[in-house]
Structure 1
Amino acid sequence: MTIGKHWVYDKHEDLVSTHLLALAKSNPAVRLIPDEKVIYNPKKETKKVVVISGGGGGHEPLHAAYVGDNLIDAAVSGAIFASPSTRQIMAAIRKVGSKKDGEGTLIVVKNYTGDILHFGLAAERAKADGYNVELLPVTDDVAVGREQNKMVGRRALAGTALVHKIVGGASSAKDKNYDLADIAKLGNLINSNLVTIGASLDRTSVPGKSEDDEEQEEEQLHPESAELGLGIHNEPGQRLDPIPHIKDLLKTMFEKLLSSEDKDRHYVDFKNDDEYVLLINNIGGTSTLELYVIAEKILESIPLSKKPKRILISDFVTSLNAPGFSITLLNLSNITDFDQHEILAYIDVPTNAPGWKPKTYDSKLWDAPGDNFDESPIKDDEDPVTSSLKIDGQLYFGKALKSALENLLKEEPKITHYDTKVGDGDCGETLAAGANSILKALESNKSFQEHLDDPVATLSVITELVEESMGGTSGGLYSIYLTALVQNLQKLKEVSIETVSGALESSLYDGLFKYTRARTGGRTLIDTLQPFVDTLVKGKDLKAALEAAKKGCNSTGDLKAKFGRASYVADEEFQDGGDGKIPDPGAVGLLAIIEGYINSLN
């Protein structure tokens, strides 16, 4: 399997240091000690417990981007997936720590061997120098059992971000005057009620390693596999073959998070009616769109009776570009030594730390009963726009329209083939979606059938169907043109080839052309539409107009595209094998509609 690609940098460049330089330059509220890779908040507050954290790079925005007001005070960065040195950590303690009575320093550290050793040693040296220091290891992973790793214990995952935010908010709460013992106690209570598990479609790839690097190549998963319970340093989890449906995956994940049956991995008790916080973390390579789709599936799948008190969705603790996500639950009901509303307030309190992306909302909004969904003000059963115009509806909108749409569907594979060569590949499917939607309405929509004799009413319904079923550029062009046509038909006193051709012309020149610069010669559906309309207006002859449309459509094979994706395609791509030239797919689709319609009238 091909590993993730990265941009090329200078050989042996320290990417973590470079990242910190940009972070400091783009954030005027912090300062950087480049030699020690320490980011810190220079704001001095009296009687404040200082919160320091850090660890290896590759987990951004953790830790450096969490430095800011109401979050952590300093972060120390090691190399990618490697703990910082004791010297670096001591630099952070000396820069922001205090030896004054009543103040102190809480060091939040992820529970990995290197981090525990280096931060632990720094804490002991700091104590020897007169600093009041406590160490808080985060251990929220449920994938690692008690028997599996007795020496190190549970790993730290995305729950680390919640610990940061809560102890950071509490340490900055001016109305509480918490001392170090209070903040450490709160942090330990939060940690002991956190559970996290992650899943990913692949491992991460480290910048600076090439595809020829055998070690990195071996770490990638099979294309048909996923992984459950992986670590954030490419530690392996449970391989899943094939990739499971998201609902099945989430069921397994919640079983591991909440079930009490697995005594080796049951760390936090959850009762059905407990209050809790839900954090959904992008491990690095999941798109925002898919992350929120996964979030909705998670919210649908939670086997707890109450909705979360807070829902936090973002990239909190990553593993470079790993295409995965993790679920973290914090059980608030188990924490009785601190008020639940205070803990939520520490999550909610705003921060200028650039890495904390969830927005802050009034707690009253979170506590509001019910959901926040409204019904559409547009009703499906609304009566269509009507007119006094009358036509033979069975001929023009029954037989002829049906013939036009069926002819389009027959041409769809060819249109799709053309569009895969010179477009986005979706033109045929988009047109087919519109055609099928209208055909379905012709067969089953009684209101539609009742208004076939009224061209304004019928076209207004068709316009709505096109808007709902067709996307992309084609859908927009068809919708605008049909909307303008309905408006122009409403102005008519009678229906004739003269009046209708005039309405078609006005809809093109005074309607559609206001919203697109496409004209004949631009290699678009306009190369079919404009000649058809112009010829019909001039000669009032449907067959002549059809021939003009064919000529315009065929000419697109020789035209240079001026609009859309086709305008970026190399000239050689417009050859369909041999000497055949590919016409514009949109023009072909419109011609199929016009041809099917007019031929059925003969």
Structure 2
Amino acid sequence: MSSKHFITDPASLVNTALHSLTLTNPNVALDANNKIVYRRPLPSAGTHKQKVALISGGGSGHEPSFSGLVGDGILSAAVAGTIFASPSSSQVQAAITSRTPRDQDVLVVVMNYTGDILNFGVAVEKARALEKEDRKVEMVVVADDVGVGRAKAGKVGRRGIAGTVFVVKIAGALAARGFALQDVAKMARLTADNLVSVGASLSHVHVPGRPPMAADQELSSKQVELGMGIHNEDGSARVELTQLEDLVEMMLKQLLNQSDEDRAFLSITADQKVALMVNNLGGVSPLEMGGIVNEVVRQLTSRYGISPARTLAGTYMTSLNGLGFSISLLKIVEDKEEIGIEGAPGMIELLDDVAEATGWSAPIRRETWENPNTASYDKNASLAVEDVSGNLKMDEETLMAALTKGLRRVIEVEPEVTQYDTVVGDGDCGIGLKRGAEAILAHFFQEPLTGDVVADVASIVPVVESSMDGTSGALYTIFLHSLVRSLRQISATNPGDATASVWAKALEKSMQALAKYTPARPGDRTLIDALYPFVETLGQTGDITTAAEAAQKGADGTKGMKASLGRTVYVGGEGFEQVPDPGAYGLAAFLKGMAEP
């Protein structure tokens, strides 16, 4: 992982990050000396029914856990250590004794790490010794990680990771409803006992202020750390995988395979209700997280028959900017006798309760989950051009051969176009043109041209529209829509053969239509620098070969031309002096291919 950071002083980083929470949530405050984020006292005593204050915490670097989970309906306070290090017992004691309401008992939820258990435990024992008998303090330890099995974990036991968020959310919701300490603690333990999690990462992280990890300790480009911890710890194995499907399969086996005696911590069957959390360890893009969530749910459903009653996806407990994710499964307990708490709701209802904390993300209401909307529109949305025909004819084999040569030429030059666009753009132009060309060729295979020029061009428009995105896709779609209209108008007044002159007139009208939507003109370093010379020369000479040469000359002329439009305008450097405009070059290649004998 990159060792570059915007804030390189770890102490400053932690302190400023904690203070930021007071800026994003007016209901929380910061005890900077003790690194405690806590809920501000209510304006007057006795206005809140809550009987239990909930405290958690640990080393920094796992944000939004736990400081971001402070708020109404979840944590009362969170205590932060330095990066990946437990807070001291005096910090935790300050949270218990001075940063929670004196008329509330206290439940401390801590993850199963030696430093956390010892420091939070010392603080709990001190509080018990110092507090009056009428204020009670309890502690619950969460150990949900299955990445390290029984044999290796030994007496230490499983680590606590992202599933802990389920525990503090459910316990916090019960506390907010006014339940007593023994009930909130019992619900927290019940949640922890029905919870399993496992993580995976493509790399270790770099901690600000520390030297980079030695190269021989890092993962190779093909390796994945299975069972990755949240403090840079190694997992259960380093495996070489190229497919997300294989990684998710291995992770779910560690969570659910009851034949693995080393890891069979929780039995979940298809008929049991489950809540799923797919947690970003900090460095995975939301786009890629979406693909991961989809794969996890797909395999849970297809291989285990488990359809999650709730699916939470996002950033809940990180490992700084860890390039990985974790999967947590909570077996939902709703049976009143199994819960054993008089009047308590089930776990799902508590999970759905609103929590006003910046780090809690569950925006879907209970009513939506319980009564999902399954309606859809009857017909598939289509942007296809309506069925059209005309009286302009052309030999379909000749037209098919010309278009095929041009499209294949676009596919051939994709590496060049991509290289050029990497220099002066975002690198997607070549792929976009190739994708469009391949889609049109596939269309021709299924629906050969008919010789009716209007109908044939119209049939191509939806293919381009659906297969090409970005600026080029929009420009080509507008141009082709207009070309269909122009050919149709010519067909109505001058039926007959679609000669070079007819094509030139229709193309010229299409250029005029395109000009309404883009200010691009020759000299602006765009595909227009190839299109305009082609249309103009075709109209003057009636010869496609000469016109294609003019298009190529126009494209070549964009080399060294400073851009006036498009993304190239924003790209610094002198790359435009070395390469032609990618869009113009790709279009010229198509036109040259069409003109080949």
TM-score (norm 2): 0.89
Q: Which residue of the partner structure matches residue 183 of structure 1?
A: 184
Would the aligned equivalents of 1:99 and 1:132 in 2 still touch at CA under 8 Å?
no
- Whether the 8 Å contact between 2:96 and 2:127 is mirrored in structure 1 is yes
Q: Cα distance, 1:598 vs. partner?
A: 4.1
What secondary structure does 1:75 align onto?
A: strand
C-alpha separation in 2, matches of 1:589 and 1:315:
41
Distance 1:473 1:342 in 2: 51
Q: Which of 168, 173, 179 is the matching residue for 1:169? A: 173
- Mark the CA change 1:112 to 1:502 in structure 2 (over 3 Å): closer, same or farther: same
Aligned pair in 2 of structure 1 residues 373, 61: CA closer, same or farther (>3 Å)? farther
Q: For 1:72, give the aligned amino acid.
A: L
Residue 388 of structure 1 corresponds to which residue in structure 2? 390
CA contact (8 A) 1:104 1:132 kept: yes
Paired position in structure 2 for 1:49? 52
Secondary structure of 1:560's partner? coil
* Cα gap change, 1:39 to 1:528, in 2 (>3 Å): same
1:560 lines up with 2:562 in the alignment: yes
Q: What is the Cα deviation at residue 333 of structure 1?
A: 4.5
Aligned to 2:45: none
Offset of residue 218 of structure 1: 5.7
In the alignment, structure 1 residue 366 sits paired with structure 2 residue 363: no
| Number of residue-to-residue matches in the alignment | 578
Stretch deviating more after TM superposition (324-333 or 147-156): 147-156
The residue aligned with 2:329 is 329
Q: Report deviation, 1:539.
A: 6.4
User: Deviation string for 1:347-367 (max 9, x for gaps)?
Assistant: 11222211112213233x323
Which segment is superposed worse, 410-419 or 286-295? 410-419
1:198 paired with 2:199, answer yes
Q: Cα 1:418–1:340, aligned 2, differ >3 Å: closer, same or farther?
A: farther
Letter in 1 for 2:446: S
Partner secondary structure for residue 558 of structure 1: coil
CA positional deviation for 1:184: 0.5
Pick from 497, 515, 531: which aligns with 1:529? 531
1:311 aligns with 2:308: no
RMSD: 2.7
* Secondary structure of residue in 1 paired with 2:222: coil
Shift of residue 220, structure 1, vs aligned partner: 2.7
Q: 2: CA distance between counterparts of 1:8 and 1:299?
A: 36
Q: Distance in 2 between matches of 1:10 and 1:572?
A: 32
Q: CA deviation at 1:375?
A: 6.7
Please give the residue correspondences for 1:491-502 in structure 2 after superposition, counting only pairs within 5 Å.
491-492=489-490, 493=492, 494=494, 500-502=503-505
Q: In the superposition, relative to structure 1, how do residues 9 and 200 fare at CA in structure 2: closer, same or farther (>3 Å)?
A: closer
Residue 6 (structure 1) shift: 2.6
Instruction: Please tell me the residue identity of whatever aligns with 2:591.
Output: I
Change (3 A) 1:49 1:113: same
Offset at residue 141 of structure 1 (A): 1.1
Aligned to 1:592: 589
SS at match of 1:296: helix
- Compared with structure 1, are the counterparts of its residues 411 and 91 closer, same or farther at alpha carbon in structure 2 (3 Å cutoff)? closer
What secondary structure sits across from 1:408 in the alignment? helix
Indicate the residue corresponding to 2:551 in structure 1. Answer: 549
Amino acid at match of 1:88: Q
Q: Residues 599 and 90 from structure 1, CA distance in 2 versus in 1: closer, same or farther, beyond 3 angstroms?
A: same
Look up the SS of the partner of 2:568 in the other structure. helix
What is aligned with 1:346?
350
Residues 275 and 309 in structure 1, CA contact (< 8 A), matched pair in contact too: yes
- Contact in 2 for aligned 1:225/1:239 (Cα 8 Å): no
Following the alignment from structure 2 to structure 1, what is the Cα–Cα distance between the partners of residues 477 and 119?
64
Partner of 1:110: 111
Selected match of 1:77 from 76, 80, 83: 80
Shift of the alpha carbon at 1:497? 5.1
Choose which of 379, 396, 399 in structure 2 pairs with 1:397.
399
Q: Is the 8 A contact 1:525 1:588 kept in 2?
A: yes
Distance 1:533 1:183 in 2: 77
* CA spacing shift, 1:444–1:403, aligned 2, 3 Å: same
Q: Which moved more, 1:452-461 or 1:133-142?
A: 452-461
> CA separation of 1:244/1:420 partners in 2, compared to 1, >3 Å: closer, same or farther?
closer
Q: Report if aligned partners of 1:86, 1:121 keep a CA contact under 8 Å in 2.
A: yes
CA distance in 1, matches of 2:540, 2:500: 11
Corresponding letter in the other structure for 1:507: S
| Higher mean C-alpha displacement, 42-51 vs 352-361 | 42-51
Deviation at 1:56? Answer: 0.7
Change (3 A) 1:49 1:430: same
Match of 2:210 in 1: 209
Alignment check: 8 A CA contact 2:10 2:83 kept: no
Which has the larger displacement, 89-98 or 541-550?
Answer: 541-550
What is the CA-CA distance between 1:316 and the residue it aligns to?
A: 1.0
Instruction: Give the CA deviation at 1:297.
Output: 0.7
Matched, 1:583 2:583: no
Q: Name the SS of the counterpart of 2:229 in structure 1.
A: coil
- CA contact under 8 A between 1:553 and 1:591: conserved in structure 2? yes
The answer to whether the 8 A contact 1:557-1:582 is kept is: yes
1:503-559, Cα deviation, whole Å (9 max, x unpaired): 3223222x2223223221111111011223344456666565445423322211231
Unaligned 5+ segments in structure 1 are 576-580
Matched ranges for 1:142-153 at <5 A: 142-153=146-157
Give SS of 1:514's match: coil
**Rounded Cα–Cα distance in structure 1 between residues aligned with 2:395 and 2:55:** 76
The alpha-carbon deviation at position 186 of structure 1 amounts to: 0.5
CA contact (8 A) 2:334 2:346 kept: no
Which residue of 2 is the match for residue 578 of structure 1? none
SS state at 1:264 partner:
coil
Deviations 1:2-32 (A, max 9, x none): x422325465643211111122123212111
Segments of 5+ residues of structure 2 without an aligned counterpart are 43-47
In structure 2, what residue type is equivalent to 1:288?
P
Amino acid paired to 1:60: E
The structural deviation recorded for 1:595 is 2.9
Instruction: Report the CA distance shift for 1:33/1:223 in structure 2 as closer, same or farther (over 3 A).
Output: same
User: Deviation per CA, 1:452-494, whole angstroms, max 9, x where unpaired?
Assistant: 3222221121111112222333222211211122223232322
- SS of 2:579's equivalent in the other structure is coil
Question: Are 2:83 and 1:68 equivalent residues in the alignment?
Answer: no
CA deviations 1:28-68 (Å, max 9, x no partner) are 12111111111111143244311111111010000000011
Q: Of 408, 411, 417, which residue of structure 2 is paired with 1:415? A: 417
Give the superposition deviation at 1:387: 2.8
> Deviation at 1:249?
2.0
How far apart are the structure 1 equivalents of 2:216 and 2:16?
28
Q: What is the aligned partner in structure 2 of residue 453 from structure 1?
A: 451
Query: What is the alpha-carbon distance in structure 1 between the residues aligned to residue 420 and residue 385 of structure 2?
Result: 39
TM-score, reference length from structure 1: 0.89
8 Å contact from structure 2 (residues 332, 348) kept in 1: no
Instruction: Report the Cα distance in structure 2 between the residues aligned to 1:388 and 1:56, rounded to whole angstroms.
Output: 73
Moved more, 308-317 or 341-350: 341-350
Residue deviations 1:261-293 (CA, integer Å, cap 9, x gap): 233322222223111111111112111111111
Which of the numbers 136, 159, 175 marks the counterpart of 1:132? 136
Is the partner of 2:141 in helix, strand or coil? strand
Moved more, 194-203 or 455-464: 455-464
User: Compared with structure 1, are the counterparts of its residues 209 and 562 closer, same or farther at alpha carbon in structure 2 (3 Å cutoff)?
Assistant: farther
Equivalent of 1:271 in 246, 251, 269: 269
Partner of 2:152, secondary structure, is coil
Of 408-417 and 126-135, more deviation after overlay is shown by 408-417
Contact 1:55 1:78 in 2 (8 A): yes
Distance in 1 (CA, whole Å) between partners of 2:233 and 2:564 is 50
Partners of 2:171 and 2:184 within 8 A in 1: yes
Distance 1:552-1:170 versus aligned 2 partners, 3 A rule: same
- 8 Å contact kept, 2:414–2:430: yes
Contact kept, 8 Å, 2:77 with 2:100, in 1: the verdict is no
State the match for 1:229 in structure 2: 227
Whether the aligned pair in 1 keeps the contact of 2:148 and 2:235 (CA below 8 Å) is no
Quick one: which of 80, 88, 93 aligns to 1:90? 93
Counterpart residue type for residue 280 of structure 2: N
